[in-house]
């Protein structure tokens, strides 16, 4: 593995995942760093794995992109072989096994909606540890995001409510964490509409509403 001080990383990343009654919400900021250098201001940290699954990444860009490609390919193969979507738990277990057999410098949130409409999100660490939770944040700004999540995520929260909470959580991290910044990405996964990345204009409008 390359020297972590010079490797292009998303180490300072802040990502958020919220499990809602009707789907899941993911959000992240967009900064990528190389040590103290802001290497990119338009980093993509939310990935569509399948129509019903999404993931966020933090850590080595190369490792993260490699892991996303493998998971996407494996979920597609599962659908071809079995004629049905892989469950969120099984997709997470697959990612866990990949990381357990060959640890990567990456932390991932993986979640979505099963065919029966059940939403869920799992957190995966670099060695393959897998934990399910109702809301999760990763990265250097997670301390600030968790303050918002703990205060605002309640039982019965909807995707529409979750989008606003996720934006608030990332905004809080960007205001206090020097490694998080340069805009916000938000994506949702619901049974009816599948994966959707919110338009930049919609995110900016939400930001103005809560400012």
Q: Is residue 208 part of a domain?
A: no
Cα–Cα distance measured from residue 87 to residue 53, given in angstroms and rounded to the nearest whole number: 9
| Domains contained in the chain, number | 1
Query: Residue 58's pLDDT is what?
Result: 85
Cα–Cα distance measured from residue 55 to residue 52, given in angstroms and rounded to the nearest whole number: 11
Q: Is residue 161 part of a domain?
A: yes
Q: Is residue 187 part of a domain?
A: yes
Residue 12 CB burial class (10 angstroms; 0-12, 13-18, ≥19): buried
Query: Residue 1's pLDDT is what?
Result: 35
User: One digit per residue, pLDDT tens: the chain, 211 residues?
Assistant: 334 444 455 556 899 999 999 999 999 998 877 767 777 788 889 999 999 999 999 888 889 889 999 999 999 999 999 999 999 999 999 999 999 998 888 899 999 999 999 999 999 999 999 999 999 999 888 999 999 999 999 999 999 999 999 999 999 999 887 778 888 999 999 999 999 999 999 999 999 888 7
Q: Is residue 9 part of a domain?
A: no
Query: Residue 37's pLDDT is what?
Result: 75
CATH number, domain with residue 18: 3.60.20.10
Cα–Cα distance measured from residue 161 to residue 49, given in angstroms and rounded to the nearest whole number: 24
- pTM attached to this predicted model: 0.91
Query: In this structure, what are the phi and psi dihedrals at residue 168, rounded to the nearest 5 degrees?
Result: -60, -40
Cα–Cα distance measured from residue 110 to residue 135, given in angstroms and rounded to the nearest whole number: 12
Catalytic hit among 9, 13, 19, 75: 13
Active site residue 13: yes
The greatest distance separating any two alpha carbons of the chain, rounded to the nearest whole angstrom, comes to 48
Q: Is residue 5 part of a domain?
A: no
Query: Residue 159's pLDDT is what?
Result: 98
Q: Is residue 210 part of a domain?
A: no
Q: 168 is in which domain, residue-wise? A: 14-201
């Amino acid at each position: 593995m390359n020297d972590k001080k010079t490797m292009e990383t998303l180490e300072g990343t802040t990502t958020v995942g919220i499990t809602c009654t009707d789907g899941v919400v993911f959000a992240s900021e967009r900064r990528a760093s190389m040590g103290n250098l802001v290497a990119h201001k338009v980093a993509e940290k939310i990935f569509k794995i399948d129509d019903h699954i999404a993931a966020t990444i933090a850590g080595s860009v190369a490792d993260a992109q490699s892991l996303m490609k493998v998971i996407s390919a494996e979920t597609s193969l599962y659908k071809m072989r079995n004629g049905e979507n892989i469950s969120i738990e099984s997709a997470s277990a697959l990612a866990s096994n990949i990381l357990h057999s060959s640890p990567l410098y990456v932390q991932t949130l993986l979640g979505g909606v099963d065919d029966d409409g059940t939403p869920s999100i799992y957190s995966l660490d670099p060695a393959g540890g897998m934990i399910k939770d109702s809301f999760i944040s990763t990265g250097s700004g997670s301390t600030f995001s968790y303050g918002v999540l703990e205060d605002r995520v309640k039982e019965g929260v909807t995707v529409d409510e979750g989008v606003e909470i996720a934006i608030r959580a990332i905004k809080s991290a960007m205001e206090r964490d020097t490694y998080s910044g340069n805009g916000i990405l938000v994506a949702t996964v619901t049974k009816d509409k599948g994966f959707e990345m919110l338009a930049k204009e919609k995110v900016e409008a939400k930001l103005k509403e809560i400012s």
